[in-house]
Amino acid sequence: MTGTGKGVPAGVALCSETRVPATLRAVLRGFDSAFVLLSGRGATSFGCAMRYAAPTSIEEAVSVLAGDVHAQVYAGATDFIPQLRMGRPEPGVAVDLKRIDRLTGLRREGDSWVIGAATPSARLGEEEDLVAELPGLVEAAALIGSDQIQSRASLGGNLCNASPAADSVPAMVVNNGRAVIAGPAGMRTIPVASVVTGPGSTSLAADEFLVEFVFDRPPPRTADAYLRFIPRTEMDIAVVGAGARLTLDEAGRCREVSVALGAVAPTVVMVPAAAGILVGHPLTDEALKRVAAEASAVCNPIDDKRGTKAYRRQVAGVLAVRALRLAADRAARTGS
């Protein structure tokens, strides 16, 4: 939910030693090192217990963050707590954002959907109109973790945890989501795509946090879809994630298209060539085959315990096509 590693002065006095003990180092190797904080951010506090703050307004939250360089915001804590258990250095104060009403809401405001950054992702599926208009975004949120996780996990946390495999991000990006950020200088808005800068890091400053996401309501004959590949049917981190959104014209040809892939590069990647291939044309098998090849080509994946480079490239192509077909199906059915 907050900046990681940027703007923290070195040599800051902390309440106890900041060394990361050997045992913790050994343990930290064991999980996605994307969010290991070995910088000055946060303190190992064997002598100093972590404090807890629960501000009830944005102003109060901004003030808590400004007052303590070792503050860490969180919402559902579904990444935060497991990381602490695995040895992530404890922050000086854990700032619970769930008491701020604006951050836990979900509403339609004029031509936009506004989703609080700390809103549990399960909430999205309860909103029938949102399901109808942005089904891909909703289904992406419904894939985070599990049913139990989704009753707490938020889109804000999913984004700011900055895992390359985050499920909500490709769907947010193809829908041109905007992120509203609060900080000491006030509020600012940037594209969701600009938030994550690399595995475990965001462009937010240490004293900023996400307030909400804004999605424009889609025009007619527009729909999105999100698919991911995992080895089991639930619980796994995405091996490949594909978000797609398109707008059809009255003749069923593609007017606008956007494809974003997750888990195949350090951050979400777009497939810009999809537009060149599809815009102005119907979704033929031959065209989709070419899109698949382009999707495979933009991947910059790794070999890890979840999949190989070759596998990710190939399945990225497969899922991009399946997501496009699904989105096209939905778009055709939305009528006018």
Residue ranges binding another protein (CB under 8 A): 21-23, 26-27, 29-31, 46, 229, 231-237, 239, 305-308, 310-311, 314-315, 318
Minimum CB separation of residue 26 from another protein in Å reads: 5
Minimum CB separation of residue 13 from another protein in Å reads: 21
Minimum CB separation of residue 336 from another protein in Å reads: 34
Please identify, using beta-carbon distances, which residue of 304 and 329 lies nearer to another protein.
304
Please identify, using beta-carbon distances, which residue of 46 and 249 lies nearer to another protein.
46
Backbone φ, ψ for residue 37 (5° rounding) = -105, 95
Please identify, using beta-carbon distances, which residue of 4 and 44 lies nearer to another protein.
44
Please identify, using beta-carbon distances, which residue of 236 and 256 lies nearer to another protein.
236
Count of helix runs (H) and strand runs (E) in the chain: 12, 14
Minimum CB separation of residue 94 from another protein in Å reads: 17
Longest CA–CA separation in the chain, Å: 68
Paired sense of beta strands 254-262 and 240-248, if any = antiparallel
**Residue reference for tokens 């985070």:** 144
**Residue reference for tokens 């180092």:** 25
User: What tokens does 209 get?
Assistant: 């946090």
Of 104, 206, 98, 99, which is closest to residue 160 (Cα–Cα)?
Answer: 206
Minimum CB separation of residue 231 from another protein in Å reads: 5
Please check whether residue 102 is in contact with residue 118, taking contact to mean a CB–CB distance below 8 angstroms. Answer: no
Count of Cβ atoms closer than 10 Å to residue 51 Cβ: 16
Of 266, 172, 175, which is closest to residue 210 (Cα–Cα)?
Answer: 172
Of 41, 32, 31, 89, which is closest to residue 65 (Cα–Cα)?
Answer: 41
Please check whether residue 34 is in contact with residue 200, taking contact to mean a CB–CB distance below 8 angstroms. Answer: yes
Please identify, using beta-carbon distances, which residue of 182 and 299 lies nearer to another protein.
299
Minimum CB separation of residue 59 from another protein in Å reads: 35
Please identify, using beta-carbon distances, which residue of 69 and 242 lies nearer to another protein.
242
